[in-house]
A = this chain, B = another copy of it.
Amino acid sequence: MTDQKIYQASTTAPVNIAVVKYWGKRDPKLNLPTNSSVSVTLSQADLRTHTTAACSSTFGSEDSLLLNSSPQDVSGARTQACFRELRSLRSALEVSDSSLPKISSLPLRIVSENNFPTAAGLASSAAGFAALVRAIANLYELPASPTELSRIARQGSGSACRSLFGGYVAWQMGEKDDGSDSLAVQVAPASHWPSMRAAILVVSAEKKGVSSTSGMQITVATSKLFKRRAEVVVPESMKLMEKAILDKDFETFGEVTMRESNSFHATCLDTFPPIFYLNDVSRAAIRVVEDINEKAGKIVAAYTFDAGPNAVIYFEEENADKVAGVLKSALGGLDGWQVSEVKEQDHSELDARAVQVLKDGVSRVILTSVGEGPIKTEESLINASGEPVKK
């Protein structure tokens, strides 16, 4: 008689925002990067993907994935690579211990929910693939460490490998052709430097620019400045950033974060045809951060931008008034402030024109902080009959 049991496991996984930027693959199939990178994992209270992975002989013959109630194509090479690698690890366990149920060959049913709008350009693929890999690893009861799983998640989405850890995370680019040493490691846990905060200014929808997957490869192929960044600039940034995190040195952390964002976007502009992710709203956010730092007489706030116009502004809790308090008084009408305990501060130091551009162009603010890695949960998105839970 066939085993008709429904096996399942659930996890949540965080978003991460890089402070030393990943841009460019040396092997697009394996998602092997041209340079190492570092990110801060953000709190799942504000931004997370919740994923349940289940498998059962009753699930028909095909793997499936439901994201925010929409069926997703799982036939792509990236998703297939994750499924294949995880099944292979489970299969090896089953061979070595015949008492284990033979579930590696059963069809997978994955259900995912984000607690933030997917379209907002908030690194949802990183959280998504991290949650998918972590949930299936839980389902298969794999003994693999987060670093071992990062090798798999990387093949789904490069930056997903960093979302398998909380705190401050490095993705070491590695050297091997097979990618076996291109892995994420924790630089420091969130508890090492728990006072790190982030204010995300979500810029009102603009027509989506070049996707990061295709954009970065056009940069590698055409930018004449890119190689210098990958070979010289980033290795310097990596050293400075890892030391800044270990020393909890915000001024260095902030300067390297801002320079790294600028350097990455400079190579986008040097791409042919050029790629623009920063717009006038992004420029206004940069100006406002510069004004805040000038008033403080040192770097207390640091902007960074990924492949889109949203600004992520890092600051320490002790400077919450000087950074978030000033932003709140300048942009107080926006959605997102109500959850915070930040007290509004005088913002007369901010360029009035930049404030107006932000007021017109930012749709909401998300205040968050450094957070933990994936968290196993009993809350399931798949019920006992194997059906997605209706929300």
Residue positions of A touching B, CB distance < 8 A? 207, 224-225, 228-229, 232-233, 236, 255, 258-259, 262-263, 265-267, 269-274, 276, 279-280, 283, 286, 290, 353
Contact = CB atoms under 8 A, between A and B. Distances in A.
A269 B272 contact: no
Contacts of A280: 279-280
Contacts of A270: 225, 262-263, 266
30 contacts: A207-B353, A224-B228, A224-B229, A224-B236, A224-B259, A224-B263, A225-B225, A225-B228, A225-B233, A225-B263, A225-B267, A225-B270, A228-B228, A259-B272, A262-B269, A262-B270, A262-B271, A262-B272, A262-B274, A265-B269, A266-B266, A266-B267, A266-B269, A266-B270, A269-B269, A273-B286, A273-B290, A274-B286, A276-B283, A279-B280
Q: How many chain copies?
A: 2
Contacts of A265: 269
A280 B273 CA distance: 16
Minimum-distance CB pairs A-B, first 4 = A266-B270, A266-B266, A228-B228, A266-B269
A184 B259 CA distance: 35
Contacts of A266: 225, 266-267, 269-270
A353 B208 CA distance: 13
A297 to B, nearest CB: 15
Contacts of A233: 224-225
Nearest to A236: B224
Nearest to A268: B266
Contacts of A224: 228-229, 232-233, 236, 259, 263
A267 B228 CA distance: 12
A27 to B, nearest CB: 24
A279 B232 CA distance: 29
A262 B353 CA distance: 26
A157 B374 CA distance: 59
Contacts of A229: 224-225
A251 to B, nearest CB: 13
A259 B273 CA distance: 8
Interface centre among A272, A273, A290 (most CB of B within 10 A): A273
Interface centre among A255, A267, A269, A279 (most CB of B within 10 A): A269
A34 to B, nearest CB: 15
A275 to B, nearest CB: 10
